[in-house]
Amino acid sequence: MEQAKKHGLALNSNKCVVKTNSISFFGNVYTSQGIHPDPAKVADIQSMTPPSNKTELQQFLGMMTYLSSFVKDFSSKTSTLRDLLKANTEFLWEAHHQSTFNQLKQEISASSLLLYYASEEPVYLQCDASLKGLGVALLQKNEDGFLQPVAYASKSLTQTEQRYACIERELLSIVFGCHRFHTYLFGREFHVITDHKPLIMITQKPLISAPPRLQRMLVKLQGYNFTIEHRPGTNNQLADALSRFPNPRESTTIDLDIRVDLVRFSTERMVQLQRETRQDPLLQQLSEIIVTGWPDHIKELPTDIRPYWGFRDELSVDNGCILKGQRVVIPKTMRQNILQQLHVPHLGREKTKLLARETVYWPNINKHIDDLVHSCAICQEHQPSQQAEPLLQHDLPTKPWNTIGVDLFEFSDNQWLIIADYYTKYPIIRKIPGNCSSHAVIVAMKQVFSEHGIPEKVVSDNGPQFASELFKQFASAWSFDHVTSSPRHHKATDSLSDRSVPPSQS
């Protein structure tokens, strides 16, 4: 107190504990006798309930095997439990099994097993989820390079959380781990270890492409700097066992109250969607797979579900509907009605597809839109004589004069060659004498290349000067790639040199 007074340090009485024998900080308890691990770090191990069948016992022993190098006489101490796993042996949990179980929990909770947290060392957060709980373990490497526990945590899932899709439960385990070990993880880089590979993809995609519940979880994780590493379940035993034996006293719902709903439906239409989804056998089957987890291979799926395989990590079940990102998967009985509503403005094929991509989805929806527009007399009467083709984008160059676009134009009764650099957008113009043959174009391009260097790629239309055998030989001899657009895509492919023509003429 004298030091605080001396240095002008003001203390908040509501946040101070005076005359205490110990204080907990960063996972350790500081006392007059020294530093000890905080009991809270192992409370979830101590609360683990005994296994009720062979599968649960295997999961517990899997965690123990991971930590076996820290448990003295591991083989002999686990022998009575391993006997229960033998073939033709009935699973009968007796007092001596419970005694061994309690002893092993005490062993892996001992202070000699837990590492002291080292802020300068890499940190690993091992996460897993089961149908009934979440498990996380905070790990760091010991002197032998082996990942050793710093702290454990687990949580029982609420009834609502148990209905989450598999990928949602797995991501929820990361949210739980970051929240529980916030003091250790916030403001530093760390590695998340998971046995659920789709998490890597979903965290790399734009936020808007994720289902709403996953979006809320991803927003919760925005403040943390981590990379996700996939490891098989056999290398994820700590978190796996904790998730299957969760702390029954820890079952509060994780706050995900960050929501911006982009699904544009009236209340009446949403009620109809929910009702028809419940009555659609295929969507009910799909919903069950989303919640319980996808198989490892597409061949294990029913044939009707296979069209959803390619974007399975984007699917979720929310409020009685199936979502693909922000789009509602429409039940079969409602598709024709939704299709007619999309078609009401007679926007044409491409714009109707764009409208559908904002709100709804079902397999082959694009083909159904094509067929409807093609059969519509109004759309056919008012459609442009030539439909605009989708743009074909070139890779952006990383330096000047890497990629150039070339084109020809007429001005003041003369033919001109324009060369535009894709990186700087800088145009160069040369007059083409005579009849603008392929030879004359090549001569002009050689002059420019002699001044500025030879580019790696030249983009042009399919005009006769550029499509000739002579120009092909020129490209080969001067070692540049020549890319030509098809007549259908000329406008999109060589748009840079095309856009440079009007300003040059002025």
Q: Is the pLDDT of residue 466 over 70?
A: yes
Averaged pLDDT for residues 146-159: 85
Q: How far apart are CA 476 and CA 468, in angstroms?
A: 13
Question: According to the model, what pLDDT value does residue 506 have?
Answer: 47
Question: According to the model, what pLDDT value does residue 491 have?
Answer: 46
pLDDT tens string 291-305: 888 888 889 999 999
Averaged pLDDT for residues 23-36: 65
Task: Give the helix ranges, DSSP H, for 53-116.
Answer: 54-66, 74-83, 95-109
Residue 447: pLDDT band with limits 50, 70, 90: very high
Question: According to the model, what pLDDT value does residue 350 have?
Answer: 84
92 versus 22: the higher-pLDDT residue is 92
Question: According to the model, what pLDDT value does residue 34 have?
Answer: 55
Q: What angle do CA 435, 440, 445 make, to 5 degrees?
A: 140
47-260 and 403-505: identical CATH topology: yes
Residue 94's alpha-carbon distances to 97, 101, 280, in angstroms, are: 5, 11, 48
Is 1.10.340.70 the CATH number for 267-382? yes
Question: According to the model, what pLDDT value does residue 490 have?
Answer: 45
Q: Domain spanning 403-505 has what CATH number? A: 3.30.420.10
User: Which H helix or E strand runs over 474?
Assistant: helix 469-477
pLDDT tens string 219-252: 889 889 999 999 888 778 888 888 887 877 666 6
- Across 105-119, 312-326, 435-449, which has the greatest mean pLDDT? 435-449
As a whole-number percent, the residues of the chain with pLDDT over 90 amount to 25
Q: Is the pLDDT of residue 86 over 50?
A: yes
Question: According to the model, what pLDDT value does residue 250 have?
Answer: 66
Closest to 410 measured CA to CA, from 487, 499, 495, 505: 505
Residue 458: pLDDT band with limits 50, 70, 90: very high
Question: According to the model, what pLDDT value does residue 41 have?
Answer: 62
234 versus 54: the higher-pLDDT residue is 54
As a whole-number percent, the residues of the chain with pLDDT over 70 amount to 85
DSSP label at residue 409: E
298 versus 116: the higher-pLDDT residue is 298
Residue 184: alpha-carbon gap to chain centroid: 24
| Long-range CB contacts for residues 49-58, cutoff 8 Å, separation at least 24 | 49/245, 49/248, 50/93, 50/97, 50/98, 50/101, 51/93, 51/101, 51/245, 52/93, 53/91, 54/84, 54/85, 54/91, 56/244, 56/245, 57/81, 57/84, 57/85, 57/91, 58/85
Q: Is the pLDDT of residue 175 over 90?
A: yes
Closest to 276 measured CA to CA, from 224, 329, 324, 343: 329
Residue 260: pLDDT band with limits 50, 70, 90: very low
Closest to 116 measured CA to CA, from 153, 88, 151, 166: 151
Task: Judge contact between 226 and 190, C-beta under 8 A.
Answer: yes
Q: Domain spanning 47-260 has what CATH number? A: 3.30.420.10
Question: According to the model, what pLDDT value does residue 306 have?
Answer: 92
Residue 492: pLDDT band with limits 50, 70, 90: very low
Question: According to the model, what pLDDT value does residue 13 have?
Answer: 80
Average pLDDT value for the chain: 82
Among 361-370, 477-486, 491-500, the minimum mean pLDDT is found in 491-500
pLDDT tens string 390-416: 555 667 788 899 999 999 988 888 899
Question: According to the model, what pLDDT value does residue 38 have?
Answer: 67
| Other beta carbons within 10 Å of 438 | 18
Question: According to the model, what pLDDT value does residue 32 have?
Answer: 64
Task: Judge contact between 214 and 312, C-beta under 8 A.
Answer: no
Question: According to the model, what pLDDT value does residue 336 have?
Answer: 92
Task: Give the orientation angle of helix 349-359 with respect to helix 335-343, to 10 degrees.
Answer: 130
Q: Is the pLDDT of residue 502 over 70?
A: no
Q: How far apart are CA 80 and CA 20, in angstroms?
A: 44
Question: According to the model, what pLDDT value does residue 267 have?
Answer: 77
Question: According to the model, what pLDDT value does residue 37 have?
Answer: 59
Q: Is 268 helix (H, G, I), strand (E, B) or coil?
A: helix
Q: Is the pLDDT of residue 493 over 50?
A: no
Hey, where are the domains in the chain? 2-43, 47-260, 267-382, 403-505
Q: Is the pLDDT of residue 170 over 90?
A: yes
